[in-house]
Structure 1
């Protein structure tokens, strides 16, 4: 019985320590927009609302990515990054590149470092774009 209580205590301490790491993690999305026709970007928006950050993560996690190297006609319209700031966890920030389709009804995403591509459906495109940019996708030029 003493061993069981000791084991339970050790596991409890471990779980509390792990949960603190997650709580201390600063979660946000940095959005950048393309300047002109060049492959140059400027910071556009920082999304810090936890619900919006989680919704973007949910959309991205539900995607069936295609493993493909794509060659688009122009640089991405937007880029967004989840840069995690937690000194206890070393993780790489993933850069997502976003293009607006010619009909302004869908977005295409690329994770260049992983050679992943997807074109989102109209619903997810509109929701993702509105969170990231703060405007309706259909109102883009």
Structure 2
């Protein structure tokens, strides 16, 4: 049987941008194990590009989750944009990686992070 803390009490913290400035406020905490694992799978298995991307506006959301890297715990931090057409999520990491998620992954991840449907 797996110990509960093997996942490091894993949770995802989500912040939402308020107004037009680069200011974020705490929005949601995702700590349902299945949702956290699904979100991490989507992010880990995405087709990341090693490239510094300059986005034209501030991120819509930021999210973080802890992960184990061999012997140390780290926090993975991501900035997230909803694309102009409202169908895809675009994510940039603090280590200059970029991905535009597929429509399906975008819908799934958005719903986990916000509790809302991506396509209105």
Tell me, in whole angstroms, the C-alpha distance in 1 between the residues paired with 2:5 and 2:61.
28
Tell me, in whole angstroms, the C-alpha distance in 1 between the residues paired with 2:30 and 2:7.
17
The structural deviation recorded for 1:22 is: 4.5
Q: Structure with the greater relative contact order (CA < 8 A, sep ≥ 6): 1 or 2?
A: 2
Question: Which one has a bigger Cα radius of gyration?
Answer: 1
| Cα RMSD (Å) | 2.1
Does the C-alpha gap of structure 1 residues 24 and 137 become closer, same or farther in structure 2, counting only changes over 3 Å? closer
Q: Which residue of 2 aligns with 1:115?
A: 96
Q: How many residues align?
A: 118
The structural deviation recorded for 1:127 is: 0.5
More helix by share: 1
TM-score (norm 2): 0.89
TM-score (norm 1): 0.76
The structural deviation recorded for 1:21 is: 8.5
More strand by share: 2
Q: Which runs of 5+ in 2 are unaligned?
A: none
Runs of 4+ displaced beyond 3 Å: 19-24
